[in-house]
Amino acid sequence: MAIERISTNNRMSKIVKHNGTAYLCGQVAKDRDGDIHTQVTGMLEKVDELLQSIGSSRSKILSATIYLADMADFKALNEVWDNWVPEGEAPARACVQAQMASPELLVEISVVAAC
């Protein structure tokens, strides 16, 4: 049972692959100064890039855990999310409010996908 760690440093790996499953580290927005729509869009673009780099895609996401700095942004998150997730292929998902590592961050996602 090989474990492959991609882009690893002393704290974490961007991706860990094991037994046909990929685990992505938490992804945040490309533009940390944007509003919730901008941050969610940029965050999901990063997920797409990471999945594509290992031959996977958003249609192969098994589960997603989303962290919001403020649950008041839940509706706006879903507006972007619902257009991003392929129809009929929504993953298991949880969304919780959490304190972010940096005050400008509004959202973060952790993804598990088949690869």
Digit-coded pLDDT (tens) for 4-51: 999 999 999 999 999 999 999 999 998 899 999 999 999 999 999 999
Digit-coded pLDDT (tens) for 54-84: 999 999 999 999 999 999 999 999 999 999 9
Distance of alpha carbon 85 from its chain centroid, rounded? 12
What's the predicted TM-score (pTM) here?
A: 0.95
Q: Give the model's pLDDT for residue 1.
A: 80
Q: Give the model's pLDDT for residue 111.
A: 98
Q: Rounded to whole angstroms, what are the CA distances from 92 to 7, 14, 61, 62, 85?
A: 26, 21, 8, 6, 12
